[in-house]
Amino acid sequence: MTKPKFKRIMLKLSGEMLGGDNGFGIQGDALSFVAGEIAEAVKLGVEVAVVIGGGNIWRGSTAAGWDMERANADYMGMLATVINGLALQGILETKYSVYSRVMSAIHMQELAEPYIRRKAIKHLAKGRVVILVGGTGNPYFTTDTAASLRAREVGADVILKATKVDGIYDKDPAKDPNAVKFDELTYLEVISKKLKVMDATSITMCMEAEIPICVFKLDNRGCVTNAIVGESQGTLVH
């Protein structure tokens, strides 16, 4: 087995990853696939923290045209991430026998532990998967920002951003067949080129802490472990 390049990772998952081909709701096979990839990472001896989005259930920006207050819409999105986190925990523990903890930025003690930095680090050190939900606990911030913030707090060596595209392109490859893929980028290039892989706040936070970001496609079995051992075919931002 190839030796992993990283001891502690932050895996950023969009909620759409749990929605399967439709991209919405929670689809059983998609959920099981994602959980299986995390379980394989744990087998490598890697400490895994996960930040998951809620776009498969609710996206705050959707309410922009409904005359709904943005803060209210964002709080609804935070609750959607809790549903996804609990679903992921359920499959990890029952199907893959991987111990995990759901930690929420929004206090809901009957469902999840409150996020406490030192406690999260302790769980990781004991080999438990830490699933971080509720975003940052504040409106107007994306789950990408939450991933960057938590990665810094728990001392992650890298952020692995799993997407439906095999890296970062100069244009949307789904709309433009001439889109060019980048193998490597600097943080400043991502910001200056306005590449919509993560928001500027997230990128800046990683740049300040020198946390690399690996953007890869979550499609085939073993893609997460490939990224961990340095065999990802995605894009590296550093």
Supply 73's token pair: 């819409």
**Predicted local confidence at residue 59, as pLDDT:** 79
Tell me the residue ranges of DSSP E strands in 95-212. Answer: 100-104, 113-114, 129-133, 158-163, 168-169, 181-182, 184-185
Q: Return the amino acid letter for 223.
A: C
Q: Is 192 part of any domain?
A: yes
- Going by pLDDT thresholds of 50, 70 and 90, the confidence category of residue 13 is very high
Rounded Cα–Cα distance for residues 125 and 3 (Å): 18
Residue labelled with tokens 């744990």: 42
Res 197 pLDDT > 90: no
**Predicted local confidence at residue 177, as pLDDT:** 82
Phi, psi of 208, rounded to the nearest 5 degrees: -65, -35
Q: Is 187 part of any domain?
A: yes
Rounded Cα–Cα distance for residues 115 and 130 (Å): 10
Q: Is 220 part of any domain?
A: yes
User: For 50-67, what is the mean pLDDT?
Assistant: 84
Query: Pairing relation of β-strands 181-182 and 113-114?
Result: unpaired
Which domain range does residue 115 map to?
8-237
- Please classify residue 56 by burial: count the beta carbons closer than 10 Å to its beta carbon, then call 0-12 exposed, 13-18 middle and 19+ buried: buried
Which span out of 40-54, 66-80, 171-185 was modeled with the highest average pLDDT?
Answer: 40-54
In percent, how much of the chain has pLDDT > 70? 98
SS3 235: strand
Cβ-contact 209, 226 below 8 angstroms: no
- Going by pLDDT thresholds of 50, 70 and 90, the confidence category of residue 186 is very high
Terminal C-alpha separation, the chain? 26
Residue labelled with tokens 């095999």: 166
Cβ-contact 171, 223 below 8 angstroms: no
**What is the count of structural domains for the chain?**
1
Q: Is 57 part of any domain?
A: yes
Q: Is 207 part of any domain?
A: yes
**Predicted local confidence at residue 89, as pLDDT:** 97
Rounded Cα–Cα distance for residues 53 and 56 (Å): 8
Q: What is the mean pLDDT of the chain?
A: 91
Res 64 pLDDT > 70: no
Res 11 pLDDT > 80: yes
Q: Is 71 part of any domain?
A: yes
Q: pLDDT (tens digit, 9 = 90+) per residue, 84-127? A: 999 999 999 999 999 999 999 999 999 999 999 999 999 999 99
Res 1 pLDDT > 70: no
Q: Is 176 part of any domain?
A: yes
Residue 222: CATH number of its domain:
3.40.1160.10
User: For 147-162, what is the mean pLDDT?
Assistant: 96
Q: Is 2 part of any domain?
A: no
Cβ-contact 164, 33 below 8 angstroms: no
**Predicted local confidence at residue 66, as pLDDT:** 82
Rounded Cα–Cα distance for residues 92 and 114 (Å): 20
Chain Cα centroid distance, residue 41? 14
179: how many CB neighbours lie within 10 A of its CB? 13
**Predicted local confidence at residue 81, as pLDDT:** 96
Of 12, 8, 3, which is closest to residue 47 (Cα–Cα)?
Answer: 8
SS3 51: strand
Which span out of 92-96, 182-186, 196-200 was modeled with the highest average pLDDT?
Answer: 92-96
User: For 188-199, what is the mean pLDDT?
Assistant: 89
